[in-house]
Structure 1
Amino acid sequence: MHRRDFLSSSAKAGVAWSALPLLTSLQRTEKYKLALVGSGWWGMNILRCALKHGACKLVAIADVDTRQSAKAMEEINKLTSDKPRVYRDYRELLQKERPEIVIVATPDHWHPLITIAAIEQGAHVYVEKPISHTILEGYAMVSAARKYGKTVQVGTHRRVSPHNISGMDFLRSGKAGKIGMVRAFVHYPGGAGKPVPDQETPKEIDWDMWCGPAPMKAYNPAIHPKGFRNFLDYANGTLGDWGIHWMDQILWWTEEKHPRKVYSSGARHIKQDNTDAPDTQNVVFEFESFTATWEHRTYAGNEAEKSNIGAYFYGTEGTFHMGWLDGWTFYPSDKNKQIIHRDPQLDLPDQQNIAGLWSNFIESIEKKQRPVCDIEIGQRSTNMSLLGMLSYKLGRSVEWDGQKIVKDDAANALLKRAYRGSGSTPYKKQKGCTPKDAAFLSIPKIDITL
């Protein structure tokens, strides 16, 4: 195929994907009963697309912070004539509303429990990435989806982004030659920051419930809202946030399901704030046929580097950069050949492609088929990030056979963690906190035994 023909066909594919949000329900005449759990920034991004698609009726939202749910309801009342009820506890929502579809857009540490509870109640689920805080939680989520026959879509929306699709077609066509190395990275500006003191918990938020199965800490505005991703009790830092998108691109391209060896080094060279995630991290993932690396820093933003985010695929015919706001570009090794570029096609706000992913989700439910970002795909991509963080915490490399870490009991112990209130970890009242006694004994039990 000539370059002009290739770009023309890629553009047509992009148009097809951009039309996906216009699809309506293929078989069903009644709208699906939809619930949103987590009504903050990204939860509302997903909900806007869900409502615009038209296949669902919003029956309820849940958020432990009434400031967020009140703000969400102001917008919802402008977007739809639906009259959703508002809850603080997702368990009450599931019991009373019996939704058919649930959006899970909470902080990371709540994703597994809410997803599994929704599946067991009978709902299909759209869950944000990363799917879990620990590796065995991810396996439990896949197991629940398969056991109950439910469709679970993960929010790795780059799988439906037109330039990512055409870029993968380019790589798989062999035009970049044999790929021996992939370098994924995120470099963002920032500084040292400064500590933010703990505060009295605002009356609008149930902080005990926000912490949920994770360790209870005093309320701090640096954690909520939005800041939780750099607190390792609740998320897995930049690698667990941005990294999963690029781990997913690597696994989308290769036929290999997982790395066989992982080594990470990282540190907090610059940050002096409350967070505890590394501000500098490098990870090496050894696959059978290639090596992948991850690197990030959260400081020293500059114009010296051509791209600050994405993945470079290094092949015998040239170097291919899969980017975000800058689309993709192929740089041939032969200087006599032209550079090939494809612009991105992204939706607003926040330059994403949720609408196409939501359409694929609804179509997959109706056709009873696996969605493009099926829970098992999301679990593998999340695993890569979590293995990198696990190696960082251990301070040594780990060998992974696809199910467990080879001959390393200490490392395998980090594949899960004890939930607060589960009986395996003392539930202590800490200064500045007002936890309810045994608050989470009623959390759904999940099987995280391989």
Structure 2
Amino acid sequence: MHRRQFIKTAAATGTAWVAAPLIHVIGKDKKYRTALIGTGWWGGNILRCAIQAGESKIVALCDVDASQLAKTAEEVKKLSGETPKQYRDYRELLSKEKPEIVIVATPDHWHPLIAIAAMEAGAHVYVEKPICHTINEGKAMVAAARNTQRIVQVGTHRRVSPHNVSGMQFLKSGKAGKIGMVRAFVHYPGGAGTRTPDSEPPAGLDWNMWCGPAPLNPYNKTIHPKGFRSHLDYANGQLGDWGIHWMDQILMWTEEKHPKKVFSSAGRFIREDSTDAPDTQTVNFEFESFIATWEHRFYAGNEAEKTNIGCYFYGTEGTFHMGWLDGWTFYPSDTKKQIIHQEPSLDEPDQQNIAGLWSNFLQSIKTNTLPVCDIEIGQRSTNMSLLGMLSWKLGRSVDWNGEKGIIEHDAEANKLLSRAYRGEWTYPV
């Protein structure tokens, strides 16, 4: 079997692959030339974990927002004593610095172009979730990873979170019985809100470059910094943000790789602010052996539903809740049996497990094995969220052929697997 075909086969079956090293085997004293593209809130969390791991030399930072860039450069110097070069255009960074590792922590609509360019420049990539804004971008990212033979880790850090891992072991052991339904949900309090007027971009922000391949809308401070996920030209709302973590937990549990049918209903029934993502959404995912659902809302926080986030797995032996800040809990159907609970183990800030995921990423680079959140795993989880949004926009259900990456017998729906890019930017294939 040819090496590239072996890699593709290993990825398709979910097994690790070990081949001739992509680069020479690295000793513990090796420090990888590392660059961060997207220096905001979450990019900072990833970068701190990279520095703390002690195997990165931070050679460069890139951001279209000068204030974020300067702040992060100052923090790098404080934490590591290094003075990374600062760039406003990722293409210049890749060309001049030739990093071995690139962290992509930009808004969602930029992930594909930057990650692919980094791979083609020879770098291994840690890319934040969701991996892309439209489904065909994700296909291109997987193809680039396999063609360049680079390691690509996706930031779905619950794959290494201790309580998530042990919870999956519990479910897969059969202790919850046969599971026929999974309900994933995120319910946050909120309200109608108020509209925020458009304005001139703040000094130091290249708004045209921030929008990049996406539509050049007027600047609005609810988009940047940090609010872009509720604006559909740049992200996919709550389902594309929080949803991917719980879609990933469903796929981490099941042997099935894709849903076969997806239907979503959504709307803006409460919000009156400047965002345009649904404030209310449900999605039905039909698999071969079970049904999964998603639901979210941004209002009606209450005391009756204190568990407001996670997945319920409904089995013949009981109900299992996989949570976040509350760990996991199994409620046996037999009331004579004891409830089983495990507390979470989470890192600060922001209650995450990036450090474990970064460690796995480094180990994968050294051993030339697929990481725990390989790009193809991240693609499948992202696809579930994107299919939910696609069905809502289309106004009907879609039949998904996950192996081919198409919607069966539906030319109109397949057009939504991609979107037109703006200006100089070319959609990846």
TM-score, normalising length: structure 1: 0.89
Which residue is equivalent to 2:16? none
The unaligned stretches of length 5 or more in structure 1 are 1-24, 422-440
1:410 equivalent in structure 2: 412
Aligned to 1:56: 56
The question of whether the paired residues in 1 share the 8 Å contact of 2:135 and 2:417 is answered with yes
Equivalent-residue separation in structure 2 for 1:364 and 1:91 (angstroms): 26
- Give percent identity, aligned residues only: 72
Please identify runs of 4+ aligned residues in structure 1 that moved more than 3 A. none
Report the Cα offset of residue 27 of structure 1: 2.8
Whether the 8 Å contact between 1:328 and 1:341 is mirrored in structure 2 is yes
Find the counterpart in structure 1 of residue 294 from structure 2: 294
CA offsets 1:391-433 (integer angstroms, 9 cap, x no match): 0101100000111001111100000001001xxxxxxxxxxxx
1 CA distance for matches of 2:122 and 2:77?
27
Aligned to 2:325: 325
CA distance in 2, matches of 1:33, 1:444: 28
Find the aligned partners of 1:308 and 1:191 in 2 and give their Cα distance.
16
Answering whether residue 224 of structure 2 is matched by residue 231 of structure 1, we say no
- Give the Cα–Cα distance (whole angstroms) in 1 for the partners of residues 294 and 94 of structure 2: 39
Taking the TM superposition and a 5 Å limit, the aligned residue runs for 1:166-245 are 166-245=166-245
The structural deviation recorded for 1:303 is 1.6
- 2:17 corresponding residue in structure 1: none
CA distance in 1, matches of 2:221, 2:306: 35
Looking at structure 1, the residues matched to 390 and 199 of structure 2 have their Cα atoms a distance apart, in angstroms, of 31
Q: In the TM superposition, what is the alpha-carbon distance from 1:220 to its structure 2 partner?
A: 0.7
Equivalent position of 2:385 in the other structure: 385
* 1:138 and 2:120 are equivalent in the alignment: no
Asked if structure 2 preserves the Cα contact closer than 8 Å seen for 1:265 and 1:282, the reply is yes
Partner in structure 1 of residue 399 of structure 2 = 399
- The answer on whether the counterparts of 2:73 and 2:83 sit within 8 Å (CA) in structure 1 is no
- Aligned residue identity for 2:369: Q
CA distance in 2, matches of 1:281, 1:328: 25
> Is the 1:117–1:444 Cα contact (8 Å) retained in structure 2?
no
Secondary structure (helix, strand or coil) at the match of 2:238 reads: helix
Cα distance in structure 2, aligned partners of 1:284 and 1:126? 30
The code of the aligned residue for 2:229 comes to R
Deviations, residues 298-356 of structure 1 (Å, cap 9, x unaligned): 11112211300000000000000000000000000000000000000000000000000
TM-score where L is the length of structure 2 = 0.93
Per the TM alignment, residue 361 of structure 1 is displaced from its structure 2 partner at its CA by 0.1
| Contact in 1 for aligned 2:130/2:378 (Cα 8 Å) | yes
* 1:104 corresponds to: 104
Q: How much does 1:29 deviate?
A: 3.6
Cα distance, 1:446 vs structure 2: 2.2
Given that residues 182 and 293 in structure 2 are in contact (C-alpha distance below 8 angstroms), is that contact kept between their aligned partners in structure 1? yes
The whole-number CA distance in structure 2 between the counterparts of 1:143 and 1:96 is 25
SS at match of 2:282: strand
Task: Give unpaired runs (5+ residues) of structure 2.
Answer: 1-24
Q: Distance in 2 between matches of 1:26 and 1:317?
A: 47
How far, CA to CA, are the matches of 1:30 and 1:252 in structure 2?
A: 33
Query: Quick check: 1:26–1:363 contact (8 Å CA) kept in 2?
Result: no
- Contact map agreement 2:190 2:300 (CA 8 A) in 1: yes
Matched, 1:42 2:42: yes
Contact 2:129/2:382 (CA < 8 Å) preserved in 1? Answer: yes
Specify the code of the residue in structure 1 equivalent to 2:410: D
Shift of 1:26: 5.9
User: C-alpha displacement at 1:444, in angstroms?
Assistant: 6.1
- Specify the alignment match of 1:22 in structure 2: none
Match of 2:256 in 1: 256
Q: Report the equivalent of 2:5.
A: none
SS at structure 1 position matched to 2:416: helix
Aligned letter for 1:251?
L
Between the aligned partners of 2:170 and 2:206, the Cα distance in structure 1 is 49
CA RMSD of aligned residues (A): 1.0
Query: Which position in structure 2 is the counterpart of 1:116?
Result: 116
Give the deviation of 1:185 after TM superposition.
0.1
Q: 1:374 to 1:241 in 2, by over 3 A?
A: same
